[in-house]
Amino acid sequence: MSNDFELDTDDLKRRMDGAMANLRTEFASLRTGRASASMLEPVMVDAYGSMTPINQVGTVNVPEPRMVTVNVWDKGLVGKVEKAIRESGLGINPQLNGTIIMLPIPELNEERRRELGKVAGQYAESARVSIRNVRRDGMDQIKKAKADGMSEDDQKFWESEVQELTDAMIKSVDEALETKQAEIMQV
């Protein structure tokens, strides 16, 4: 067996970056005290027989700091969009005005802030789990190469590479969580 094992650390990094990007998207959907169009990104609408992102059935705008509007393009979907928002867990009560759905963003109370902080923590934990799964994949590839005759020094080298990458990504998750929780708790 040859000893020219080369772990694709770029692939591992790309997959871990994917977990981070997903975390950022989830964090963006978490409501702080001000309105943002991105908070509706995870909301899916049952449109034309398939689950569709809300921004593909209407225009999402932020006309003022405490208001998000969704201008639904197809009159027939207004009810479904409203229902999707109600059931999204965002804690917003949609108000209809023709094909425009207005979403007044209430001030966050202390209890709601704590709840959102916990949700942010859950999002961060699932990002950590994804990163650890990628790490496990990398370690499995190394174990397999070891079984195929890789030297112990090479094994240790690659394992430390994977572990360093993992530690750096987990640290990024923790920092992102800290920032998001501070943002949520700020009145």
Asked whether the predicted pLDDT for residue 173 surpasses 90, the reply is: yes
**What tens digit of pLDDT does each residue of 58-76 get?**
999 988 888 899 999 999 9
Mean pLDDT over 168-174 rounds to 96
In the chain, what is the greatest distance between 2 CA atoms, to the nearest angstrom?
71
Rounded Cα distance, 53 and 178, in Å: 28
Q: How far apart are CA 15 and CA 9, in angstroms?
A: 10
Q: Name all domains of the chain by residue range, CATH numbers in brackets.
A: 9-26+109-185 (1.10.132.20), 34-104 (3.30.1360.40)
Report d(CA 25, CA 54) in Å as an integer.
Answer: 15
pLDDT over 60 at 3, yes or no = no
The pLDDT-based confidence of 31 (bands split at 50, 70, 90) is low
91-132 pLDDT, tens digit per residue, is: 788 999 988 999 888 777 888 888 888 889 999 999 999 999
Predicted pLDDT of residue 138: 94
Indicate the pLDDT class of residue 2, thresholds 50, 70 and 90.
very low
Give the pLDDT confidence score for residue 33 in this predicted structure.
Answer: 65
Q: What percent of the chain has pLDDT over 90?
A: 52
The side-by-side arrangement of strands in the sheet containing 67-72 is 58-64, 67-72, 100-104, 95-97
Residue 1 scores a pLDDT above 50? no
